[in-house]
Structure 1
């Protein structure tokens, strides 16, 4: 069996006291030089070990100051099997930002099977915890479905899309989700009080009435803090006779 690389061994020595709470968040770690002397390794080894812990999210590097044990971020579990098939914000509080009409363009036109330039309703909201934005939710629906009725997002801002669309004659009977990660965009960063380019989790959810997509949305949240919770019911096997 090959010997474990020294930087991995050193990272293990530092990781264990961090995970068991012996080194609490905010604790300053020894410098690369002090680690090298204490563990009888080269400074290159200690530097690589510290960078590994930074990559794992356990340690943060503060320029000109050193390495510190990082505060573990709170995890938010977002249910994707809620009874109404809504945005699934869990215990987050919802803040409606705006509802507006815009013209459809790619790739949204493909998701809603519309031609570029057709009008859609865009509703933007955020999920909050302790006055801090955690998620951004944007949903689009073809304006042709409810225009001229009292079932548009403008007329029923506090009513969920399933209830509104069902009342307009488009009952939702199927939901499709696609989950991925990407970099946070400039227009989204300000709404999430974050920096452009950080990695975010994106859930693209589309509601269908029959074969027709009647609403699609993006749920965006920090990949580090947000978890998606799925509960799937399976048919019980029939007992053998």
Structure 2
């Protein structure tokens, strides 16, 4: 291991049997002092190596008990295509939280191209698996689009897509812009997802447009351990010359 920090070398010795299945989920790893003796390193080195594996999600620290190989989490894939608008928390079980009216704050007003303080509908729902929340979907829509009709988010039948609902109100969605990133989990998101604030989460900012006008914007916030985005995009084929 010339030139390599010793804690990285030790982490490699533990990572390999975890990844190839020799150390199965739930296996208790040797203590820091035992690792130090077995691999002839200091306890500081073994501590740094274990912390690295914890940060990689391969090992979990249980206070008062030790370090254990983490179970492989169940992965849920959210399908995104260029032919439909897959919004919400599908394929998870959906639990509606609320639909309320509120004044648009700076962030929402910029995304919807409206003024600060304009009225919007805010809709929230959770995506659950085995009763455990793993994703939170929050959507905002200018109130003036559907107010006074039966096409508001509060009036929508369960499972109705935003495309169908707004289309029935005469607002045709013809473009979607989606931005994906990772950020720290905020309150009250943390309380609803039963996770600690500050943990990194997957965030999908999605905005639906009618021409150049944004008509609905949403955040899908999901556990990085459980959520993935699956993209299926069609490619235009260029005709070959001579055909």
Normalised to the residue count of structure 1, the TM-score between the two structures is 0.93
User: What residue ranges of structure 1 are gaps of 5+ in the alignment?
Assistant: none
Q: Distance in 2 between matches of 1:45 and 1:154?
A: 57
Query: What is the Cα deviation at residue 5 of structure 1?
Result: 3.0
1:94/1:126 contact within 8 Å kept: yes
What is residue 76 of structure 1 aligned with on the other side? 76
Q: Distance in 2 between matches of 1:177 and 1:187?
A: 23
How do 1:8-27 residues align onto structure 2 when only pairs under 5 Å count?
8-27=8-27
Q: Distance in 1 between matches of 2:109 and 2:162?
A: 19
What is residue 183 of structure 1 aligned with on the other side? 184
What is residue 29 of structure 2 aligned with on the other side? 29
2:82/2:233 contact within 8 Å kept: no
Moved more, 60-69 or 220-229: 60-69
Q: Distance in 2 between matches of 1:41 and 1:179?
A: 41
Query: What is the Cα deviation at residue 22 of structure 1?
Result: 1.6
CA RMSD of aligned residues (A): 1.8
What is residue 96 of structure 1 aligned with on the other side? 96
Query: What is the Cα deviation at residue 71 of structure 1?
Result: 1.6
What is residue 141 of structure 2 aligned with on the other side? 141
Query: What is the Cα deviation at residue 141 of structure 1?
Result: 0.7
Deviations 1:188-239 (A, max 9, x none): 1121122222111111100000111110111010123211111111111212
| 3-state SS in 1 of match to 2:178 | strand
- Give structure 1 regions of 4+ aligned residues with deviation exceeding 4 angstroms: none
1:59/1:67 contact within 8 Å kept: yes
How do 1:37-186 residues align onto structure 2 when only pairs under 5 Å count?
37-81=37-81, 84-87=84-87, 89-158=89-158, 159-186=160-187
1:79/1:88 contact within 8 Å kept: no
1:182/1:202 contact within 8 Å kept: yes
Moved more, 152-161 or 91-100: 152-161
Q: Distance in 2 between matches of 1:97 and 1:84?
A: 25
| 3-state SS in 2 of match to 1:29 | coil
Total equivalences in the alignment: 241
How do 1:203-214 residues align onto structure 2 when only pairs under 5 Å count?
203-214=204-215
| 3-state SS in 1 of match to 2:106 | coil
* Gap change, CA 1:121 and 1:157, over 3 Å in 2: farther
* Gap change, CA 1:88 and 1:151, over 3 Å in 2: closer
Deviations 1:26-48 (A, max 9, x none): 21111122112212222222222
What is residue 215 of structure 1 aligned with on the other side? 216
Q: Distance in 2 between matches of 1:107 and 1:92?
A: 27
